Amino acid sequence: MTCATAAPRGIGMTSQRTRDRMIARLREQGIGDEPLLAAMAAVPRHLFIDPGLASRAYEDTALPIGFEQTISRPFAVARMIEAARAGRELGRVLEVGTGCGYQAAVLARIAKEVYSIERIQALAEKARANLRSLRIANLRLVHGDGYKGLSEAAPFDAIIVAAAAPLVPRALTDQLACRGRLVMPVGNEEQELRVIERSAAGGLKASRLDAVRFVPLRAGKG
């Protein structure tokens, strides 16, 4: 007699195993922040991507999310959060550029309180819908212009900007807490990831990470 073997649970392209492979790849790419890797292993990235592309959710690539925007590649998400955290416990964090909400969901697992701003209303609503089933209590989504930051919730221990601008907006560095870190892509065609840290004495110190390619930061609400 032959028995039909039941397919093991979660063996598809959106399973925990696929997510674990993404984590292994991030480690090979040099990401070593364990709480961050645990957060990325837990957040179901495929829920943030349209069903037609969901099978590619764990590839190391940016994917379209509509409105000419993209979900950042996993390595970019990891690199920015690792640089913003720098091994510290994070209290309040601001993300500029919610997009589909993936990075906000990861941040919410490693920070006490997360605020995320998106300028395109339809994307802010899409992110809200994507995040609903995850029931994240410590994440606030805001429809607004992230160029201005979010003064009513400042200061922030970390600010992550998921879109590139020629210069780091002054409103954002003004909203950094003492020892707070801002991470954002800076440049036009050629961009580099920049880290700005507010020192205990109050000054700002900049450093550079990799060359990157992000969608542009645009002023005003969409």
> Which residues would be at the binding site for ligand SAH (CB under 6 A)?
69-72, 96-100, 102-103, 117-120, 123, 145-147, 162-163, 215, 217-219
Token reading at 45? 């990235």
| Beta carbon nearer to ligand SAH, 159 or 176 | 159
- Looking at 15, 55, 72, 133, which residue is catalytic? 72
Token reading at 167? 């210069």
Q: Which of 143, 184, 139 is nearest to 166 (CA)?
A: 184
DSSP string of 80-109, one letter each residue: HHHHHHTTPPEEEEEEE--TTSHHHHHHHH
Helix (H) or strand (E) holding 175: none
Q: In the complex, what is the shortest distance from the CB of residue 18 to ligand SAH, in angstroms, rounded to a whole number?
A: 18
Give the separation between CA 92 and CA 94, rounded to whole angstroms.
Answer: 7
Q: In the complex, what is the shortest distance from the CB of residue 144 to ligand SAH, in angstroms, rounded to a whole number?
A: 7
| Beta carbon nearer to ligand SAH, 43 or 176 | 43
Residue 28 near residue 20, CB atoms below 8 Å: no
176 beta partners: 156
Give the separation between CA 206 and CA 198, rounded to whole angstroms.
Answer: 9
Q: In the complex, what is the shortest distance from the CB of residue 73 to ligand SAH, in angstroms, rounded to a whole number?
A: 8
DSSP string of 39-85, one letter each residue: HHHHS-GGGGS-GGGGGGTTSSS-EEEETTEEEPPHHHHHHHHHHHH
Q: Which of 172, 175, 124, 123 is nearest to 153 (CA)?
A: 175
Is residue 72 annotated as part of the catalytic site, yes or no? yes
Q: In the complex, what is the shortest distance from the CB of residue 169 to ligand SAH, in angstroms, rounded to a whole number?
A: 9
Q: In the complex, what is the shortest distance from the CB of residue 130 to ligand SAH, in angstroms, rounded to a whole number?
A: 10
Q: Which residues are part of the catalytic machinery?
A: 72
